[in-house]
Amino acid sequence: MRLRVPMLVAVAVVAVVAMVLAVGCGSDGDNNTAGEPGQPAASQVLKMAWGAEPPSLDPGLATDTTSSNVLLNIMDPLVRLGDDLEPAPALAESWDVNGKVVTFHLRDDGRWTNGDPVTARDFEYAWKRTLDPKLAADYAYQLYGIVGAEAYNNAKPAQAASLREKVGVKAIDDRTLQVTLTSPQPWFVQQAAHHSFLAVHRPTVEGHGTKWTEAKNIVTNGAFKLADWKHDASITLVKNEEWRDADKVALQRVEGRIIVDGTTRVQAFEAGEVDALDGGGLPPADMPRLKQLAEYEKYPALGTYYYGFNLKNIPDINQRRAMALAIDRQSIIDNVAQADQIPATGMVPQGMPGFEVIEQDFLPTRSDIEKAREFMGKAEVAENAKHKITLFYNDAPGHKEIAVAVQAMWKDIGIDVTIKAQEWAQFLEFLGPPPSDAVYVYRLGWIADYGDPMNFLELWTSQSGNNNSRFANAAYDQLIEQARNTPDDEARYELYREAEAMLTGPEGELPFMPIYWYTYTNLERASVKDSFEINPLDQFDLSKVVIEEA
Amino acid sequence: MAAYIIRRVIWTVPVVLLVILVTFLLMRQIEGNPFRKTERAVPAAVQENLERKFKLDKPWYVQYAQYVKGVVTLDLGPSLVLRDRSVNDIVKEQFPRSIELGLYAFGWAVLFGVPAGIVAALRPNSRFDYGAMLFSNVGFALPNFLVATLLIYYVSLKWGLLPTSGWESWKHKLLPSLTLGLVPMAYFARLVRGTMLETLQADYVRTAKAKGLRWRRVVGVHVLRNSLIPVVTAAAPLLGYIITGSFIVENIFAVPGIGRYYVTAVSARDYSVVMGLTVLLSIIVILANLLVDVLYGILDPRTREART
């Protein structure tokens, strides 16, 4: 009798083991139809991992990369950007730029998934909706370059209706969209590739309220349709056979799983559950191993990782020069950051149009301790040198290791650094502007919204909400304002060069010191590695992806 | 008993109100702007529009009153970050998955932890006993993120037996529930063994044996029933463990539940999601404690008198 209970346990254990083994032996039913390597595979189903649940698939409300990339694959933008960041026709077949007036000419075969034609009115409606103070869109300011946009977004309820009429976007007819800007912004056509400038289908938006983005309600106009969206679990896209260029789209289906944790994402890839990640970054701790994989891929990004100086606490330019020269950027990349980043010598990143003109050569990629000590000596003579400073960073993977490396490098020029971590939301409040007096040095980064150096250089104007260094220079502000009104590229790049020199040139004021320019790193199976491409603005176009026989 | 239950249920109301107030004040105390998610500064007009939309421009006591009214009418408000969804949507869609995960974890514990403890107690100092207790110690000591990582590494990556993550078929559910169930399992095994050993020494067990009762009946009726009381008591605090454990386990295994939202909502300053989930979880913990007290009364009639 007494043996009965252990027997039961034993039976249960055996049952579970058998179950597990049975699972292992089951085949996955891969369709291994034989084909030549490099030829398109018979099954065009891409399995990929998204790095986050899209917070919103409403073009007016989306602000993050994941939402943006889902949107740009289910909606047709006016223009699309290639790797060179030049705008290429998409839904707009052409455009004219006449000073402050930009006119887009739409194709006549744009169709919503319910069969309605896509018209210029859809764009006018969408943009004005995003600016509507009642919608309260975070990214309404992306449209502030349009005349009257900011005023409407800022309107009190009583004036809203009249200010809405004054916004400079107008559908002249079904296929002509006229936009009036506050100044001739040569980057505006490029900016129209951003998801904030997508059209929405008015009857759907008004008919379903906040639920219009659910898979069962949404009406889209892009290469893929949103077939299914299980929140926090999966996003399934299917090819839109009615799309204007559908015969050029190979993929039939994109089965996306939402995996937030970086390590889990990599494991799902390594277990063969997904064939591509979305470029949302690989865990820094795993980089040395992942870089060795044949599936590893990197793309240049338009982004600058920098350490800002609080000019109130480190007022001496020679000390800032010393600090900027003392750090070994290449060594930080090789030994700490490890994602093939590029040592940054200025605010405007490599790959940005006009970079060759703007580039400065004052800051070295390797440290120059001799020169650094010399500058530090000058600061000491002037009795301005600060030897005990604080360095603040936000508590996310990778930042601490860089801070520790920089701490060691600054010790060589006699600066004692206390490093302090803060949680992201608190950190942002703490930096102001103006930054808290406790801050001497802070970590931040900037990723481009559009491909013009303006997007980086206007950060350091005195009224900028992203200037956390207390840097204020009227000449600099004026230069940026002048550039804003200079449509000619060559002339404008020249102004940018002057601006960059005021920041990071030999006579520059160094309100910050750049560390590296970002890269996007990804894992992609050989079958899609050739066609899955991420552009410098972190966008990928699934309509170009072809699954090849491996 | 009925009066006791009613009294306890009524007491839930002020407790929940207090939970809301404390969470509400704590969330407002920590700095951070829910509308600034990246380093990009938020223009003043945009900030104002957002605050107006989400009624954050009202004084705190008005916001609190509105929130309480929302809870009473079962409307937990819109998420400040997931702009297309309300907290109700999130709870409705994702809470059942978390409950499922929690129940499976509990299932592992009851299915394996309790029998292991019983067998170990019936055959003390045997190999099985040592094995079970070693397993229990190890299970108790290992943090669940390590267990999760090891399980994924071996079971999914090396041996290819189960998927690494997700929540679709039972194959996906095995590893996360086992990870979460390990500590309760280990705890139950220890607890049951200890109380069983104690009960086996009791006079009434000896009497029952002496009367010539079949051993199976002695164990099944007298020993088990009395040994399980502490297990029931332990179940409620373990629920707390399962909830907090799910924050980590859901994240590692990409389980689309609410546990991992809780953490991200705090860092994103998504006030309404944090509040909604806190209220929900506290109601569950309160009810679980109530249930345990009622069960306690059924298993051990002596405790009933003290309350009525």
Cβ A136–B93 below 8 Å, yes or no?
A: no
Taking one residue from A and the other from B, the number of pairs with CB-CB distance under 8 angstroms is: 182
Tell me the chain A residues in contact with residue B267 when contact means C-beta distances shorter than 8 Å.
Answer: 423-425
Residues of chain B positioned with their CB less than 8 A from the CB of A144 = 43
What residues pair up with A524 in beta bridges, in sequence order? A276
Tell me how crowded residue A12 is: count the other CB atoms within 10 A of its CB: 13
Between positions 55 and 94 of A, the ones with CB within 8 A of B are 55-58, 61, 63-64
> A202: burial class by Cβ within 10 Å (0-12, 13-18, 19+)?
middle
Handedness of CA B257, B259, B261, B264 (dihedral sign): negative
Interface contact A422, partner B, CB < 8 A = no
Chain B residue numbers touching A21 (CB-CB < 8 A): 161
**Could you tell me if B116 lies within 8 Å of chain A, comparing CB atoms?**
yes
Structure tokens at B9: 């249920």
The pTM (predicted TM-score) of the whole model is: 0.88
Q: Is B160's CB within 8 Å of A6's CB? A: no
Q: What is the dihedral of CA A277, A280, A284, A290, to 10 degrees?
A: 20
Reported as a pLDDT band with limits 50, 70 and 90, residue A541 is very high
In Å, how far is B116's CA from the nearest CA of chain A?
A: 8
pLDDT tens digit string along A361-395? 999 999 999 999 999 999 989 888 899 999 999 98
How confident is residue A24, by pLDDT bands cut at 50, 70 and 90? very low
B254 touches chain A (CB under 8 A): yes
Instruction: Decide if pLDDT at A138 tops 60.
Output: yes
Angstroms from B2 CA to nearest CA on chain A: 38
Measure CB to CB from residue A259 to each of B46, B83, B254 and give the nearest one: B254
**Closest chain A residue to the Cα of B81, Cα to Cα:** A55
Other beta carbons within 10 angstroms of residue A127's beta carbon come to 27
B41 with A263: Cβ contact below 8 A: no
Section A520-539 average pLDDT: 93
A426–B32: do the CB atoms touch at under 8 Å? yes
B83 contacts chain A (CB < 8 A): yes
User: Which of A17, A264, A395 should one mutate to test binding to chain B, selecting the residue with the greatest count of B CBs within 10 A?
Assistant: A264
pLDDT of residue A18: 46
| Closest-approach residue (CA) in chain B for A157 | B49
Task: Give the angle A203-A209-A210 at the CA atoms, nearest 5°.
Answer: 130
Angle at A451 (CA atoms; ends A327, B45), nearest 5 degrees: 95
Q: Where is pLDDT greater, at A17 or A132?
A: A132
Task: Take residue A260 and report the two structure tokens written for it.
Answer: 């937030």
Q: What confidence tens digit (pLDDT) does each residue in A443-478 have?
A: 999 999 888 999 999 999 999 989 999 999 999 999
d(CA A94, CA A196): 20
pLDDT for the residue numbered B305: 59
Residues of chain A numbered 445-474 and touching chain B (CB < 8 Å):
445-446, 464-466
Across the interface, whether the CB atoms of A233 and B166 are under 8 A apart is answered: yes
pLDDT score, position A11:
46
Please provide the DSSP assignment of B242-291 as one string.
HHHHHHHHHHHTT--SSHHHHHHHHHTT-HHHHHHHHHHHHHHHHHHHHH
The yes/no answer to whether this complex scores an ipTM above 0.95 is no
Are A466 and B260 in contact (CB < 8 Å)?
A: no
CB contact under 8 A, A466 and B39: yes
Rounded Cα gap, residues A36 and A359, in angstroms: 46
Average pLDDT over residues A194-204: 97
Q: Residue A119: pLDDT above 70? A: yes
Strand partners, A88: A80
Maximum mean pLDDT: which of A75-84, A314-323, B42-51, B286-295: A314-323
Q: How far is A48 from chain B (nearest CA, A)?
A: 13
**Is the pLDDT assigned to residue A14 strictly greater than 70?**
no
Residue B150's pLDDT is what? 93
Helix, strand, coil abundance in chain B, percent, nearest 5: 75, 0, 25
Please give the structure tokens belonging to residue A513: 């010191």
| B96 inside 8 A of chain A by CB | no
How far B12 CA sits from the closest chain A CA (Å)?
Answer: 32
In a mutational test of the B interface, the residue from A57, A232, A304 whose CB has the highest number of chain B CBs within 10 Å is: A232
User: Most B CBs within 10 Å: which of A261, A430, A449, as the mutation test of the B interface?
Assistant: A261
Is A425–B84 a contact, with Cβ atoms under 8 angstroms apart?
Answer: no
Under an 8 A CB cutoff, do B52 and A136 touch?
yes
Whether B84 and chain A come into contact, CB under 8 Å, resolves to yes
**Quick check: A465 and B43 CB within 8 A?**
yes
Q: Within 10 A of A193 (CB to CB), how many other CB atoms are there?
A: 24
B268 contacts chain A (CB < 8 A): yes
Residue B56 touches partner A, C-beta closer than 8 Å: no
- A133 contacts B49? CB cut-off 8 A: yes
B122 touches A: beta carbon within 8 Å: yes
Tens digit of pLDDT at every position of chain B (308 positions): 778 788 888 888 888 889 889 988 888 888 788 888 888 888 999 999 999 999 888 888 898 898 889 888 989 999 998 888 999 999 999 999 999 999 999 999 989 998 899 899 988 889 999 999 998 999 888 998 999 999 999 999 999 999 999 999 999 999 999 999 999 999 999 999 999 898 888 888 888 888 888 888 888 888 888 888 777 878 877 888 888 888 899 999 999 998 888 888 888 889 889 989 988 888 888 888 888 888 777 777 776 655 54
Contact status of B33 with chain A (Cβ, < 8 Å): yes
- Beta-carbon separation of B85 and A12 below 8 A: no
Give the Cα separation of A323 and A415 in Å (integer).
9
Tokens found for residue A494: 């020249």
User: Cβ–Cβ of A5/B43 closer than 8 Å?
Assistant: no
